[in-house]
Amino acid sequence: MISDSEWVTIAVMLEAFPGDFPPRAAKAYRLMLEGALTGEECIEGIRRYVARGERWRPGPGEIVALAGRAVALPAFGAVREELTRACRTRDVRLARTPFTVGAALMAEVPEGVVSEFVALVGGERIRRTVLYLPDDAAERAWSALQGDYEKLQPKLIDRALGAPARRALTR
């Protein structure tokens, strides 16, 4: 949450850059930054931007990135390695139903994007790709999974950001 006094500081900092910064633009910046950063993080992001020697006003996304709060999907290669490792664990190999395979696989991967990917595409599909397909068929299956991963990017990020809050509600 950005307090009104913090926002005044942030708005003054943003007004210092060349070009017009009308009240409507300031309101838009505040709306976009409000849920993503605290006031301190926002101020620090702008300071980092200035320290890099940038001349033009940063966009809200640049401020979020400079504050270290940008969300991006890990490269699919890293996800593939994590899923392969998890599928070779005892619990995943011994799971018998699609539900138990998915649950066992989700218990082996870190919370966030990877576990949400498992939830969306199904643990049995991933386990079959890792453990039961011949090499050429497995590579085709991995390519299909990578395509799904890229198509699901917005949904994965959204679900991964909301996942801790959903888990807290269910406890």
User: Looking up tokens 């990877």, which residue turns up?
Assistant: 114
Tell me, yes or no, whether 166 and 88 share the same domain.
yes
Tell me, yes or no, whether 53 and 87 share the same domain.
no
Tell me, yes or no, whether 93 and 137 share the same domain.
yes
Domain hosting 122: range is 76-170
* Digit-coded pLDDT (tens) for 57-75: 999 989 988 887 766 778 8
Does a structural domain hold residue 97? yes
Tell me, yes or no, whether 90 and 156 share the same domain.
yes
Q: How many domains in the chain?
A: 2
User: Looking up tokens 């300031």, which residue turns up?
Assistant: 26
Tell me, yes or no, whether 164 and 88 share the same domain.
yes
Burial 90-110 (b: 16+ CB within 10 A, else e): eebeebeeeeebbbbbbebbe
Tell me, yes or no, whether 60 and 99 share the same domain.
no
Does a structural domain hold residue 126? yes
* Digit-coded pLDDT (tens) for 5-58: 999 999 999 999 999 999 999 999 999 998 788 999 999 999 999 998 989 999
| Listed residues 26, 48, 66: the one ending a domain | 66
Tell me, yes or no, whether 44 and 108 share the same domain.
no
| Single pTM value for the model | 0.59
pLDDT exceeds cutoff 70 at 168: no
CA distances to 94, 100, 111, 127 from 91, rounded to whole Å, are 5, 9, 17, 12
CA distances to 3, 19, 28, 34, 161 from 25, rounded to whole Å, are 18, 12, 5, 14, 27
Does a structural domain hold residue 71? no
